[in-house]
Amino acid sequence: MKSFFASLLGSLVGLFLFGFLMLLIVVGVVGAVASLGEKPVVVPKGSYLVFDLTANIHDSVRSPNPFEVLEAIENPEHPKNLQLRAVTRALEAAAKDDRIKGMLITGNISASGYASSFAALAEVRRALVEFKKSGKPVMAHLFRADANDLYLASTADEILLDPYGQVDVAGLASEGVFFAGAMEKVGLEAQVVRVGKYKSAIEPFTSREMSPASREQLQVLLDSAWTTLRDEIASARGLAPDALQALVDSERFFSGEAAVKAGLVTRVAYQDEVIDELKRRTESKPDAENFARVSMGSYAKRAHPTAPKSASGKAAGVVAVVYAEGVIVDGEGSEGEIGGKRFARELRRLRQDPKVSAIVLRVNSPGGSASASEHILREVRLAREAKPVVVSMGGYAASGGYWISSFGDHVFAEPTTITGSIGVFGLLFNAAELTQKLGVSFDVVKTGRYADTLSISRAKTEGELALIQRDVDQIYRDFLSRVAEGRKLDPALVAELAQGRVWIGADALTRGLVDEMGGLEDAIQYAAKKAGVDENYTVRERPAHKPFAESFAEALQGLEVRIFGHGPVGRVLARMESELEQLNTFNDPRGIYARLPFEFVLR
């Protein structure tokens, strides 16, 4: 027996030492790769800038996941993440860079989370249009393109499609996942209190299908977003919007010559033919492996327009851009979340920093914790007393995302921004039947009638639900008053616009919920002008890149094995996992939330 335990102990120690050694190797390799990434970007004269749409385009500055850095060893030209402002500034710089001869757009938009939203794509599209004004040729080569891909690629002088590729312009759809039936089978009940007939965030747990009110608002959003995409694609391709709609309604998939005949692309070409043509354009050697090129990811790291300077050579002012991207949660939050405590602290620092002349709050959030939203708004209001605070809405600025935006001096949104959703709900779970099936029981000792109200071991009583409803009603009234005061609107009008209803950016403008259509750069320029530093300023972005060690530690904490795969079963399970993971963001200490429906995706 002793020899058995000695052998077991020795094996465990060996495994530990092996794991520790492998960790050191990984840290060393990743660190080396990360340091290589800091080397200056080499741009050969006459290069084409290659914009691969496959990368996720985030609003905020993303610290690279060290494990993603390892992937760069195998495929250094295709970063997994790009930052919106880095892309638009790179396009601005490339237009003036005499080393850049033209551009190639390729790949497919395959966004995750809140990346590559319609609002972000709209800003990228405007930057592509500005690049074209330089007179440099823009070519797009696509294999399988949907409406989002075509939305950006249509800015090109010519669109080439692989002979076996397809253009898929079927319009837009948003499909929800509902768990009520599954919850009923396992014995899990969701108890809900809410305000606003359009506040449909709880429907996945209480229904088997969309409510009429939810379907109504979603249809309006889809129609408006699709009209924007369709009309801009049609204009770029020399088609009438009605003609493009007729194509969409007649046939979903357009392959090869059919896409050419429909006017969706210019011509067909295999990848090797595109490479050979670009070799000629860039005067590369015929036997070279590829044409002279630089990827968007590499170029964006170093190539930025020169910041304006004062006569002394120093920046006269600083416009701080602080990114609120993700679900709003109580506490510090993690990667991809807006921690109320952490974000409020960042705003406080910027408010108290005498070097910061103005603040731009970039919001790309469906909301979340009501208390965290209020803590953030408090700091927005205090900052506004000290210096200009301008809001730039990205893909989402709804519910709690609108709450934190409501006191901006000026609010910009894109026509396709999803905003509004002024409503509140409480979500509680009763797992009594489920635990009984599992043979698990609960018992409680308490000193007050309501001490165990938030327990999941039993259903809430009518009295307890009444207490929570009272809390929800009060927070909803607070929400209405914040919007009325911050937006200087009649409270009666705000009440009419609220009820949890979601508005698209263009409609929000006509109703006074936002001030102007425009992107992040428009908001930055407006803030600089309002602060009186529009001729001489630099931009400081927060949060900034994290130190390597911190990013590596977070990556280790979040490391998990994915076993679902990429087939149809895997996609279904991954979607369900994504929906259920949102439950972890429901951490408001009062259990009350202001947020959009889960995975409210218009793609």
The two tokens of residue 509 are: 């403008």
CA–CA–CA angle 377, 378, 379 (5° rounding): 90
CA 170 vs. chain centroid, Å, equals 23
| DSSP-assigned letter for residue 63 | P
CA distances (Å), origin 350, targets 282, 328, 578: 46, 20, 34
Query: Which residues pair with residue 192 across a beta bridge?
Result: 427
Catalytic residue at 199?
A: yes
Count Cα atoms within 13 angstroms, Cβ side, for 455. 17
Set 214, 399, 406, 421: catalytic member: 399
> How far is the C-alpha of 156 from the C-alpha of 137, rounded, in Å?
8
Q: Give the three-state DSSP class for 66.
A: helix
**CA-CA-CA-CA torsion sign (202, 207, 210, 214):** negative
Q: Give the three-state DSSP class for 378.
A: helix
> How far is the C-alpha of 48 from the C-alpha of 139, rounded, in Å?
10
Set 101, 199, 279, 387: catalytic member: 199
- Residue 599 burial by CB count (10 A; 0-12/13-18/19+): exposed, middle or buried? middle
What is the phi-psi region of residue 135: left when phi exceeds 0, alpha when psi lies from -120 to 50, beta otherwise? left
> How far is the C-alpha of 600 from the C-alpha of 48, rounded, in Å?
37
| DSSP-assigned letter for residue 190 | E
> How far is the C-alpha of 423 from the C-alpha of 370, rounded, in Å?
10
> How far is the C-alpha of 326 from the C-alpha of 522, rounded, in Å?
22
Catalytic residue at 529?
A: no
> How far is the C-alpha of 391 from the C-alpha of 365, rounded, in Å?
13
The catalytic residues are: 199, 399
